[in-house]
Amino acid sequence: MEKFRALSGVAAPLPMSNVDTDKIIPKQFLKTIKRSGLKDGLFYEMRNDADGNRIDDFVLHRAPYDEAQILVAGENFGCGSSREHAPWALLDFGIRCVIATSFADIFYNNCFKNGILPVKLPQAQVDALMAVAEDAGNPELTVDLESQEIRGPNGLTFSFELDGFRKKCLLNGLDDIGLTLEKDAAITSYEDTHRQTMPWLYQQEG
């Protein structure tokens, strides 16, 4: 998993509440277990009409938001079913940080497991960042995980809270497998001892 330290990039505004995982990535895109190629399905039903034609006015189709790395959204982002394809699709598009007042628990946890930083802020601060994102002339924000700050134009700065364990995982690029591999020496030592004390468990039948 890619490490997350400080991210400076375009922030796209999505001023909608209760954006569920089916809006983030509709069910027809869940047939694959690959994490790549999902960006085309991201917000598919908002980016395309009923006939599959592209809606050019959708925010992620317009420059500079077509290269957004940060998403500023409404409350309860990521609600609905517990599909891990939702953070996969965001990440495949290039979005590594989502800012909102609240998130659905499962989506929130899945973000950390995939290298995305979900930031919870009070409504007034989200509104201020939404205003920055809506200014297409300068919609850039900096999200500094080490200092736990979000910085915008004209000295705009907000601090955010984050669990220390989750912060460590993002800073070091550790997903569940990476966390397990941190204990590789202890696991190997245990297996060696176990093999010596109970050798019969490792005997192959002739």
The amino acid sitting at 110 is: N
Q: Indicate whether 44 belongs to any domain.
A: yes
Q: Indicate whether 99 belongs to any domain.
A: yes
Q: How many domains does the chain have?
A: 1
Mean pLDDT is lowest, of 45-49, 79-83, 96-100, 199-203, for 199-203
pLDDT band with cut points at 50, 70 and 90 for residue 206: very low
Percent of the chain exceeding pLDDT 70 equals: 94
* 3-class secondary structure per residue, 95-119: CCEEEECCECHHHHHHHHHCCCEEE
CATH number at residue 170: 3.20.19.10
For range 165-170, the mean pLDDT: 95
Q: How many CB atoms lie within 10 A of CB 64?
A: 15
Q: Indicate whether 131 belongs to any domain.
A: yes
Q: Indicate whether 86 belongs to any domain.
A: yes
Q: Which pLDDT score, from 0 to 100, does residue 180 have? A: 61
Query: Over the stretch 4-40, which tens digit does the pLDDT of each residue have?
Result: 999 999 999 999 999 999 999 999 898 877 777 899 9
pLDDT of 136 over the 70 cut: yes
pLDDT of 46 over the 80 cut: yes
Torsion sign (Cα): 115, 116, 118, 124: positive
Which residue range(s) make up the domain with 123?
A: 6-202
157 membership: H or E segment, kind and range? strand 157-159
For range 51-72, the mean pLDDT: 96
pLDDT band with cut points at 50, 70 and 90 for residue 174: confident
Q: Indicate whether 1 belongs to any domain.
A: no
Q: Which residue has the higher pLDDT, 34 or 87?
A: 87
